[in-house]
Amino acid sequence: MSLLHKINRDTAPRHIAIIMDGNGRWAQQQGEDRLFGHNFGVEAVRETLKAAQEIGVEYLTLYAFSTENWNRPKEEVDGLMDLLVRTISGEVEELHESNVIISSIGDTEGLPTSCKEELEAAFERTKNNTGINLILALNYSAKWELIRATKQIARLVKSGEIELDQVDDDMMASMLSTRGIPDPELLIRTSGENRVSNFLLWQIAYAEFHFTEVLWPDFKREHLYKAVLDYQSRERRFGLVSAQLEKNT
Ligand code: FPP
pLDDT tens track, the chain, 249 positions: 899 999 999 999 999 999 999 999 999 999 999 999 999 999 999 999 999 999 999 999 999 999 999 999 999 999 999 999 999 999 999 999 999 999 999 999 999 999 999 999 999 999 999 999 999 999 999 999 999 999 999 999 999 999 999 999 999 999 999 999 999 999 999 999 999 999 999 999 999 999 999 999 999 999 999 999 999 999 777 888 878 877 766
226 lines ligand 1 (CB under 6 A): no
Q: Is the CB of 87 under 6 A from ligand 1?
A: yes
b (16+ CB within 10 A) / e for 179-199 = eebebbbbbbbbbeeeeeebb
Q: What is the pLDDT at residue 249?
A: 63
Using DSSP, state whether 150 is helix, strand or coil: helix
pLDDT score recorded for residue 61: 98
> What is the reported pLDDT for 246?
76
Report the distance separating Cα 87 and Cα 129, nearest Å. 19
Q: Is residue 129 annotated as a catalytic residue, yes or no?
A: no
Residue spans of the domains in the chain: they are: 10-141+178-248
Rounded CA-CA distance 194/211 in Å is 6
Q: Would you say 142 and 198 are in contact if contact means Cβ atoms under 8 Å apart?
A: yes
79-123 confidence digits (pLDDT tens): 999 999 999 999 999 999 999 999 999 999 999 999 999 999 999
Degrees, nearest 5: CA angle 215-220-225: 110
Terminal-to-terminal C-alpha distance of the chain: 32
* Three-class secondary structure assignment of 20-56: CCCHHHHHHHCCCCHHHHHHHHHHHHHHHHHHHHHHC
**Cα separation of 156 and 152, whole Å?**
6
How many angstroms does the Cα of residue 12 sit away from the middle of ligand 1? Answer: 26
pLDDT at 245: 77
69 belongs to the catalytic site: yes
Asked: is 10-141+178-248 a CATH 3.90.1640.10 domain? The reply is no
Q: Which position among 33, 69, 107, 129 bears the catalytic label? A: 69
Q: Is 69 in the pocket of ligand 1 (CB under 6 A)?
A: yes
**pLDDT (0 to 100) of residue 36:** 97
Q: At what angle do helices 221-232 and 34-55 cross, to 10 degrees?
A: 50
Sign for the CA dihedral angle at 31, 36, 38, 40 comes to: negative
CA distances from residue 194 to 21, 138, 164, 191, 223 in whole angstroms, order as listed:
11, 21, 37, 9, 17
The rounded Cα 162 to chain-centroid distance in angstroms is 32
What stretches of 107-196 adopt beta strand conformation (E)? Answer: 133-140, 186-189
Ligand 1 binding pocket includes 203 (Cβ within 6 Å): no
Distance 93 CA to ligand 1 centre (A): 23
